[in-house]
Every structure is written in C-alpha cells, then in structure tokens.
Amino acid sequence: MSKYTEDDLREELKTKEYEYGFYTDIESETFPVGLNEDIVRAISKKKEEPEWMTEWRLEAFRVWQNMEEPEWANVNYEKPDFQAISYYSAPNSKPKYDSLDEVDPELLATFEKLGISLDEQKKLAGVAMDVVVDSVSVATTFKKTLGEKGIIFMSISEAIKEHPELVKKYIGTVVPQKDNFYAALNSAVFSDGSFCYIPKGVKCPMELSTYFRINQAGTGQFERTLVIADEGSYVSYLEGCTAPSRDENQLHAAVVELIALDDAEIKYSTVQNWFPGNAEGKGGVFNFVTKRGLCEKNAKISWTQVETGSAVTWKYPSCVLKGDNSVGEFYSIAVTNNYQQADTGTKMIHLGKNTKSTIISKGISAGKSQNSYRGLVQVNSRAENARNFSQCDSLLMGNECGAHTFPYIEAKNKTAKIEHEATTSKIGEDQIFYCNQRGIDTEKAIALIVNGFSKEVLNKLPMEFAVEAQKLLEISLEGSVG
Amino acid sequence: MDLKDKLLSSHLVFEDRSDMGSYVNNLRNDAIKVFQEKGFPSKKDEAWKYTSLNKVLSEDYCVFPKQETALEYNDVKKYFIHDIDTYKIVFIDGKYSSHLSQTTHEGIDVCLMSSALCKPKYRLVIENYFNKAAESDSLSALNTAFSSEGAYIHIPKNKLVEKPIQIIHFSTGNEAAIMLQPRNLIVVDENSHVQIIERHQSLTNNPVLTNSVTEIFAAKRAIVDYYKIQNDNANASLIDNTFIKQKQSSLASVHTFSFGGKLTRNNLNFYQNGERIDSTLKGVTIIGNKQHVDHNTLVHHIEPNCESHQDYKGIFDENSTGVFNGKVVVEKEAQKTNAFQANNNILVSDKATINTKPQLEIFADDVKCSHGCTIGQLDESAMFYMQSRGIPKKEAKALLMFAFSNDVLSSVKIPELKQRITKIIANKLGVSLGFDL
C-alpha cells in the first residue's frame, strides 16, 4: 500500500477535479487478498455472527462460484479480478464510541472535509447519520430518539446480533442469494450496511441517512441494506456516497432490500457520487448494485436516485408490486461525463391487482460517456388493471457521447394500460443564446437548462439532498460545454 | 438427426450439383460454415429472447422440394391481387412456375434468381449486389448457403415500372413437411420507381417453414414500395429476413401485414448510406389462436439529414403472442436525423401476451429521436357511444380496431391492395363490414 504524502494530498486538492478526492490513513485491519470459503468463514467470524448467518454466506458463496459475470449490460470495462481484492477491512480503533471525543481524530477530519461534521449534522435538519467508513459503522447518532418510537436503526452486523429473528426472517427474501452474480458475491462477503425496522403504524420522525464511503486501497465495499416497514408505517431513507480518488478500479457491489408490508410506504433516495475516474477515463469506481423492493397490499415504494459518479454503473432499483393496489415509483437522473458509462433503469413487476407504477428517467451524457436506460415493465396475467407510465428523456452534450434506451415491456393481461415514451435531444443553441444575451455565461446557462431538464426528479428528493444534488449536477458537467 | 445436421449434410449434396467455383458458390460455402458454427438462434440470444424456434425446428422437414406440382390458376386466383394487371413471379414448392408467372425482360428485368445466377449477362449485377446487404447472422447465412431460387428484379435508371410486381411462393407440400429458402434480389437504379407485393402461401396442412432472404438496393432518388402480406394457414411458419440498402435521397417503405401463420418472424433491416434518405416501416398485426408474430426492426442512420418513420400496430386475441423489437441506431456523423418510432398494441384476451422493446442507440447530439409504445384497450366510451346508436357490439369493436390500424393502411399506395387488406381485416375480425364508410 503506497502512502500518500501531504504534498500529494495538497496537489490533488489543488487540481479540484474531484472535490472529495482525499485519502485517510487509518490503521486498518485488512484481510489478505483473494476469496475462498475460509475467507467467507473468517469474515463471518470476525463479525461474531451466529452459525446460521455463516451458513447463509457459504451457501451464497457456493452458488457464486458457479456463476458467470454478466455481460449483457451496455458497458465496457476491464473485469475486476475477484481474487485480487481484499474482502474485509475495518477501521482498527475499536470498540465503538459513546461520544465524538473518542473518535479517531483523523476520521473526524475526514468528515469535516466532506462537510458532514457530526455535531453539526446532529443539530442540522434532524438527520440521524449512520456513518460507514470502510464498511464498519463507526458512529450512530439519534439512536435514542428513534428508540423511543420503537424504530430500529443500526448497522446490519449489530442487527444480526441483536435482532436475529428479524434479519433471519427478511434477509434474502427480496434479493435471493442466487439472484445474480454480484448479489451472490455480496451475500457471501458483505461486510456491513444498515438495518432499519419501522414498527406497525409508526411514521419515522426524521429522514434516515447513511453516508457510504470507500476508504482503503484495494478493498471493495459490499454493503447490505435491509429496510423493513411494518404495516401502516412510513420511512424516508437517504443514502449518499462519496469516495476518494484512486487510480486502480474499485469494486462496489451493494445489495439493498426494501420490504413494505401492508399500507406501508418507503421512500428511498440516493445521491451517488463515487469517484468517476479522471478526464482520461483512468480509475474510478465500478458500481454494480442490486436494489429491490417488495410491496404488499396498498404499500408504496419510491426510488429516487441522482447518479453522477462511478466509472461504470450497473444499477436497477426495482419494485415487485405483489400486493393489490400497491404503487411503485422510480425517479432517476443519471449524468455521465468524460469516459463514464452508466447502464441504469428499473424493473416494475406487476403481480397484484390495481397496481400502479411510474418511471421518470432523465439521462444526461457529455464528453465521451455512454448513458443507457434499461428497464422492464412486466404485467402478469393476474394483475388486473395494472397501470404504468414511463418516460425516458436523454440530453446529449457534444457528439462524442451516446444515449441509449432499452425498455422491455411484457404484458400478459388485457386490462393492462402501459405507456412508454422516450425522447432524445440536445441543448438548443437558441436557449443558450437567450441566456447569454441576458448576461448569463454559457456554463451557468447549461447548468440552468440541465436543472430545468431534471426538475421533475430533483423535486422528488428531500430538501437537503435536492440542494446537494443540484450542486453535484453542476460539478459533474463542469467543462463539458461544447 | 436434428434439422441442423440434416441441413449440413444436405448441403454436401447441394454443393455437388451446383456450379463449382463460381462467385456465388464460394459465398455459399462460406455461409454454410457460418451456419455450422452459429447454429439456429435460441432464446439465449438477446434478439430471440421472446421467440423460440424449438417447436418449429422439431418437424422433419424435407429440405429439397420434389418435382414441380402444377396448380390451376383458378384454384389459387384468390391469393393474387387479380383485379389489376401485374407482373408475377410465382413459385410452387420453391420451383418456378412459368405457367402462373408473367415476367419480362423489356427494359427491366423481372425474372428468376436461378437464371440470373447462371447467365453471364447478369454476372456483374450479381457480383456487385448479391449478399452485399445481408448480415451474416445464422439464418441469413443458412439461406445464402442454399440460395438458388427466388425473384430477381433489376430496374435500370430512370424507369417507372407501371404495374406492380407480385412475388408469390406457394407450398403444396403434398408429400411431407417442407422447408423453403427463397432468395430475392431487387436492384433499383437511379430515379426509378417500383412497387412490389410479396406473399407466402401454404396450400397444405403439412408444416411448412420458410426462411426467406430479400435484399433490396435503392440507388439515388429511387423509390421502392414493398408490401408483405402474411396470411398463411396455421401450420406455416415464416422467417423473413429483409435487408435494404439506400443511397442518397431515396425513399423506401416496407409495409408488413401479419394476419396468419403459426410463427412469423420479420427481421427488417434498413441501412442508410447517404444523405436525405427517407425510410418507412409500417405494420399491422392481427392474430389469435396460438399464433406468434415477431417484428424485429433495425434502422441504421449512418449519414446526416435522414429520416425514418416506424409505426407498428398490433391486436392480439386468444393465446397469441406479439413481439416488437425496434432498434434505431444513430451514428456520430448522422446529425440532424429525425427518427420516429411508435408501437401501439391492444390486448383482447387475457391469455395473449405482448413483449415489446423499442430500443434507441444514439451517438449524435443534434438529432430528434423519439419512440412511443403503448399497450391498452378499446375505449369504452366510444364503444358505448356506438352501441347506444344501434351498432352491435361486435361491429362496434371491429370498427374501432379498424380505425386503430388505419394509420398504417392509409399509406398503402395501391388501392386494390388496400381493399384486399381491408377485406382480410374484416374477415379476421369476423364482421362483414366493408369499412368503406
């Protein structure tokens, strides 16, 4: 592991290519590279997991060994060598802290650079932060407030110890171990993640949020998130990502499972800003994520995502509309610049009667990037009166990028009503001219137009995120005026 | 022995009797190797995700048709557009029927592939165009490997062909199940205009599998109107591979009317090699009773200032399955492209299935591309309106469905053909309306 010097850091910050490109040197406990059954066992042991969990991981690992890496996505990249990754790394300074003073000062400095100093966060906006640095949850705040309502919000490894019955009952029910290559890998080696349970009839009083970061050279991050909203409850969950600059490609294969029981509602928002690689397309994070939600009767799941980072993104937040009258929503903005590649979209599986789904996807491609929308709307033969509306708009900036749409629509019920629309366009010269004329420079004008283009989705984000997301859009498209 | 092995071994026999060493023969030999390597497509191939050939391929097909069977014109008259004067190229079980055909060499060539392949005066055209548009996917390669007969149409510069050309393939299949592999080549030179109607018709209850390849070349400012009528009986399956290469300012349109057949797969590919090209792809599909129709289209925009229009309508009843996979590719150089695609479907029965995948791949920024896709039902208030005015339910339904497909019908340029299709639709919907309201 090569060490970063102060000068390197300063140099990197100076270039300002990637605002959050720094690296914290915390003594980490890192496993040897490679993956076999022993490593899986060791991870499980390290986390002091019960026997059933170890078995569950091993089962996934065995399935994974016989699976092949999928190639159908519209992306090109050098495949990661799964035997060259270390599958576990944890900040060394255990055990956990009760107050901020005990936290490793270097970590705190990291947060400060990110602009998420814990004290401030505590006061601001009432957001409870479960901060994940290098896969292990270091500090959890507002736990007490949530505890009073009976809400369980903790890292998944804690949940496995403290609430094994809940985890056992729900883990893998929405995304089974053998679902796909990366989900199987994640099931075998997941290091940590968040667990959230909202009891019957409880409206979660604050937005739950987790910042995921990758922070150790050569370690992939495999989080596992499980959100369960019991009957009649409501929760809004935020997830934001930033990662330090790194030259080699990093692998990120997360699994998120949402379960909305009868009459429950889950709103899941993501701002993803992993390191996208530099302007020459070198480096950057591989983001292969499986996200899926299950809706029971009258339940609603809403996915909102702003994707600006990662060298390669492969992500399809999905809704299984199992219960009658359930609703699935998907709002997405995907921005790609330079050599980024994104293949993202959603799946809406209509199983119950009177189920509804809405898909709004906005793709913005600039530089030499490729941006694809890939979606599936499936109406099964018993899903009477299913309704879907999909809209995919693409905005192209420059003639070296590409925008692609691959919508799959499968209908097996005559009462189904499905609409799909897609358009592709560019920013009109007249629009830019109009702005210029009124004293708005071209860069600002583009930001303005892009914001207008993606407004429908931005509006769906919670307040704090909407502001951050708007800024992100601007940063991502910097220098792409053409 | 499965069909692939059978085809491979019969190719050896085929090789023996065809002219060794010629240009086309070399192509055939290369093509059979491609087929041998790739085999028939399976559901694992992305392009065949929703269409399985397994059932169709399991029949024991006779690969080489036996002796020519004679047909009386009066028996098959109904399959022709007989109320106008047309050129006709008719095949029975893959063999040319001179008695039913009406070909010409006066100014234009409307004749046979077999004679074009062996006569030296066509050699130049064959070498310039044959297999130059077809992709080397396994089914087209298979056709190329066995290509010997089909229609050969060459329209020289500045000709307006006054009468439409009909290409009809009959299969009598008296002995057994047969597999046919017609190969058509249509070359339309500068400023010329031609209208072609193609039809495949089975006259037997034995299974028939047709794997057809048609290559069309439209030179500068040429106009080509191509109509495909697919209303075959329930045991006939068709895999139609059409490749159209267009040069600048040419207009090409293909209308596909799919009403019959067990399994129909249309691979329709347009390549635009020039500026200001206009391509039109339209289709109406009305099927029921375990039928399967798959439209797989590709429009490849290579140069600037071109347009494409796609409009496919489908009505699916009973156990039928409809597939639409429309792909539009806009290359980096193809600025100012206008590409429009629409796919509208009505599901009439709960057992029917629609799988649709309109796909855009765009690499140029100054383009207008859109696609729309809907799946829905007939408007209940419109139904009620008509019923309240004394139009029976069945007729009201038929009227609405006809109106639904009329967008496509209205651009058919041969009135007699339009009438004929209208009749087929009325028949299909089980009403005796003329729809000429």
Q: Do A404 and B371 touch (CB under 8 A)?
A: no
Please indicate, yes or no, whether residues B389 and B260 belong to a single structural domain of this protein.
no
- Residue A95, in any domain of the structure: yes
Length of chain B: 437
Q: How do strand A136-140 and strand A128-133 relate by DSSP bridges?
A: antiparallel
Distance from CA of A413 to the nearest CA of B (A): 5
Residue B340 pLDDT > 60: yes
Domain range holding B171?
Answer: 3-273
Tell whether B424 is covered by a domain: yes
Give the minimum alpha-carbon distance from A160 to chain B in angstroms, rounded to a whole number.
39
Work out the pLDDT band at A99, boundaries 50, 70, 90.
low
Whether A104 is covered by a domain: the verdict is yes
Dihedral sign for Cα atoms in the order A156, A161, A163, A164:
positive
Q: Measure the CA–CA gap between A361 and A391, rounded to whole angstroms.
A: 6
Beta carbons of B175 and B205 less than 8 angstroms apart: no
Residue B303 lies in a domain: no
- Split at pLDDT 50, 70, 90, the class of A18 is very low
Residue where a domain terminates, one of B206, B238, B273? B273
Whether A321 shows a pLDDT value over 60: the answer reads yes
Chain A residue numbers touching B353 (CB-CB < 8 A): 410-412
Write out chain B residues lying below 8 Å of A399, CB-based. 332, 335, 363-366
Residue B254 pLDDT > 50? yes
Contacting residues of B for A72, CB less than 8 Å apart: 46
CB contact (8 A) between residue A420 and residue B360: no
Nearest chain B residue to A372 by CA: give it. B361
Extract the tokens encoding A39.
């490593």
Task: Evaluate if residue B331 carries a pLDDT over 60.
Answer: yes
User: Nearest CB to B367: which of A400, A401, A424?
Assistant: A424
Interface test with B, best of A392, A414, A427, A431 (most B CBs within 10 A): A414
Q: How many CA atoms lie within 13 A of A170 on its CB side?
A: 27
Contact B335 A399 (CB under 8 A): yes
* Model confidence at A21: pLDDT above 50: no
* Residue B346: closest C-alpha in chain A: A414
Q: How far apart are CA A348 and CA A331, in angstroms?
A: 13
Q: Measure the CA–CA gap between A379 and A453, rounded to whole angstroms.
A: 30
Nearest to A411 among B353, B359, B368 (CB): B353
In the predicted model, is pLDDT for residue B252 greater than 50? yes
DSSP readout, A179-238? SSHHHHHHHHH--B-EEEEE-TTPBPSS-EEEEEE--STTB-B-BEEEEEE-TT-EEEEE
- Beta carbon pairs, A and B, within 8 Å: 113
Q: Is B297 contained in some domain?
A: no
Average pLDDT over residues B202-219: 91
Encode pLDDT of B188-202 as tens digits: 999 999 999 999 888
Backbone CA torsion sign across A147, A153, A156, A157: negative
Which of chain A's residues have a Cβ under 8 Å away from the Cβ of B372?
419-422
- Whether B417 is covered by a domain: the verdict is yes
A414 interaction partners in chain B (CB closer than 8 Å): 347-350, 352, 377
Q: Compute how many other C-beta atoms are within 10 angstroms of the C-beta atom of residue A102.
A: 11
Domain count, chain A: 1
pTM of the model: 0.82
Q: Residue A195 belongs to what domain range?
A: 6-315
Residues in contact with A48: Cβ distance below 8 Å, sequence separation at least 6, in sequence order? A161
pLDDT of residue A279 exceeding 70: yes
d(Cα B2, Cα A362) in Å, to the nearest integer? 48
Q: What is the pLDDT of residue A266?
A: 93
Measured between CA atoms, the residue of chain A closest to residue B353 is: A412
Domain membership flag for residue B114: yes
Which residue in chain A has the smallest CA separation from B49?
A408
Q: Which structure tokens are listed for B261? A: 């057949």
pLDDT category of residue B318 using cuts at 50, 70 and 90: confident
pLDDT the model gives residue A111: 53
pLDDT attached to residue B286: 92
Dump pLDDT digits (tens) for A461-471.
Answer: 877 677 767 77
Supply φ then ψ for residue A313, to 5 degrees. Answer: -120, 140
Residue B158, pLDDT above cutoff 80: yes
Give the mean pLDDT of chain A.
78
The CB-side HSE value for A108 (13 A sphere, CA atoms) comes to: 11
pLDDT of A440-454, one tens digit each? Answer: 988 888 888 888 888
Pick from B363, B365, B372: CB nearest A420: B372
Lowest mean pLDDT among A36-45, A194-203, B125-134, B267-276: A36-45
pLDDT at B55 over 70: yes
The per-residue pLDDT of chain B, averaged, comes to 88
Chain A's closest residue to B374, CA to CA, is A419
Q: Kindly state whether A403 is in contact with chain B, defined as any CB-CB distance less than 8 angstroms.
A: yes
**Count of structural domains within chain B:** 2
Best mutation target, B351, B362, B379, to test chain A (most A CBs within 10 A): B362
CA dist., res. B205 & res. A343, Å (int): 47
Question: What is the least distance, in Å, from the CA of A382 to any CA of chain B?
Answer: 9
Torsion of CA B282, B288, B292, B296, to 10 degrees: 20
CB within 8 Å: B352 and A414: yes
- B264 and B409 share one domain: no
User: Averaged over A4-33, what is the pLDDT?
Assistant: 53
What does the pLDDT read at residue B44?
Answer: 84
A247, pLDDT greater than 50: no
Q: Is A428 on the interface with B (CB under 8 A)?
A: no
Answer yes or no: do B388 and B268 share one domain: no
Predicted confidence (pLDDT) at residue B74 exceeds the cutoff of 70: yes
**Confidence tier at B377 by pLDDT (50, 70, 90):** confident
pLDDT in the model for residue B228: 94
pLDDT number for residue A19: 47
* A251: in domain: yes
Q: In the prediction, which pLDDT does A132 show?
A: 52
- Among B273, B290, B322, the domain-final residue is B273
**A41 part of a folded domain:** yes
Name the pLDDT band for B266 (thresholds 50, 70, 90). Answer: very high
Indicate the pairing of strand B307-316 with strand B183-188: unpaired
**Which three-class secondary structure state does DSSP give residue A45?**
helix
Is A420 a member of any domain?
no
On whether residue A195 sits in a domain, the answer given is yes
Query: Judging by DSSP bridges, how do beta strands A300-307 and A136-140 pair with one another?
Result: unpaired
Q: What is the mean pLDDT of residues B180-186?
A: 93
Q: What are phi and psi of B415, to 5 degrees?
A: -60, -40
A224-229 and A194-198 as β-strands: parallel, antiparallel, unpaired?
A: parallel
Nearest neighbour of B356 by CB, restricted to A405, A409, A426: A409
Mind telling me how many Å the CA of A350 is from chain B's nearest CA?
Answer: 14
pLDDT at residue A420 tops 70: yes
Q: Is the pLDDT of residue A89 over 80?
A: no
Interface test with B, best of A424, A430, A431, A481 (most B CBs within 10 A): A424
Nearest CA in chain B to A397: B365
Question: Does some domain include residue B139?
Answer: yes
In a domain, A468, yes or no: no
CB contact under 8 A, A421 and B372: yes
Question: Measured in Å, how far apart are chain A's first and last C-alpha atoms?
Answer: 40
Query: Are A397 and B46 inside 8 Å of each other by CB?
Result: no
Q: How many CB atoms lie within 10 A of CB B127?
A: 13
Helix (H) or strand (E) holding B212: strand B208-218
In this predicted structure, the answer to whether residue B206 has a pLDDT above a threshold of 70 is: yes
**What pLDDT does residue A249 have?**
59
Residues of chain A neighbouring B368 (CB-CB closer than 8 A): 424-425
pLDDT over 50 at A94, yes or no: no
Q: Is A408 on the interface with B (CB under 8 A)?
A: yes
User: What is residue A9's predicted lDDT score, i.e. its pLDDT?
Assistant: 47
Find residue B194's DSSP bridge partners: B224
Residue A101 has pLDDT above 80, yes or no: no
pLDDT number for residue B15:
66
B401 against A273, higher pLDDT:
B401
